[in-house]
Amino acid sequence: MRSPLMQATVAAAAVIALSPLGTASAAGPSDIGDIICHGGSLTVQFNPGATFFRSTVRMSASGEMGTCSSSQHPEITGGAVKLEASLTANCPGPFGPGYVKATINWNDGTKTVIDQSIFRGDERSFSLEGGSATGGFAGGYARANGRTTSNLIEISAACASAGLTSYASTINEFAVGDI
């Protein structure tokens, strides 16, 4: 029978032997992977509505990513996206620039969150770039662009009355990861 001191020494040796050596390193670009989506749609909402006077608005947008492809993650073919930001805006633009948080729920059940991407838009188009992803494609960045599909006359009328509270847009391209 072993003494308590001998048992403690054996246990400590086992812990040391099973411990990983060195520190964990951040994922390299080849580990991040990338994904590119085309043909999505986005509904953008402002609260309060954007008017011809520059003011701070809460922007939220949601939509579908369209058709997505990734050589590292072929199981991901689409997803739903949500954007949230507080930005300065006026009609007919600019909307921003400002920092936006993008949350993407992929069709395979994984999720990517991109914080601090820069959003720029106006009544005709939008762009998003930068940030830092967590979850799927962690450590990567985002880049997106699209164009407004809402009627520009209706957008102008909303700007002139109570304020522009929503409009529709395409997602021409949305890329995430090592891009």
Q: pLDDT tens digit string along 46-87?
A: 999 999 999 999 999 999 999 999 999 999 999 999 999 999
Query: In Å, how far are 32, 134, 135, 170 from 27, measured between CA atoms?
Result: 6, 12, 12, 32
Does the pLDDT at position 12 exceed 90? no
Average pLDDT (13-34) is: 48
What is the pTM assigned to this prediction? 0.81
- For residue 18, what is the enclosing H or E element? helix 4-18
Does the pLDDT at position 145 exceed 70? yes
- Residue partners of 16: CB distance under 8 A and separation at least 6: none
Four-residue CA torsion sign, 74, 77, 79, 83: positive
Extract the runs of DSSP E, i.e. beta strands, from 5-124: 34-50, 55-69, 79-89, 95-106, 111-121
Does the pLDDT at position 139 exceed 90? yes
Does the pLDDT at position 105 exceed 70? yes
**pLDDT at residue 27, as a whole number:** 44
Domain ranges of the chain: 41-177
**pLDDT at residue 126, as a whole number:** 95
Distance CA 140, CA 47 (A): 30
When pLDDT is cut at 50, 70 and 90, the band that residue 14 belongs to is very low
Four-residue CA torsion sign, 7, 13, 15, 18: negative
Averaged pLDDT of the chain: 86
Average pLDDT (88-102) is: 94
- Partnered with residue 39 across adjacent β-strands are 66
Does the pLDDT at position 3 exceed 70? no
**pLDDT at residue 179, as a whole number:** 83
**pLDDT at residue 149, as a whole number:** 96
**pLDDT at residue 1, as a whole number:** 52
Does the pLDDT at position 142 exceed 80? yes
**pLDDT at residue 156, as a whole number:** 93
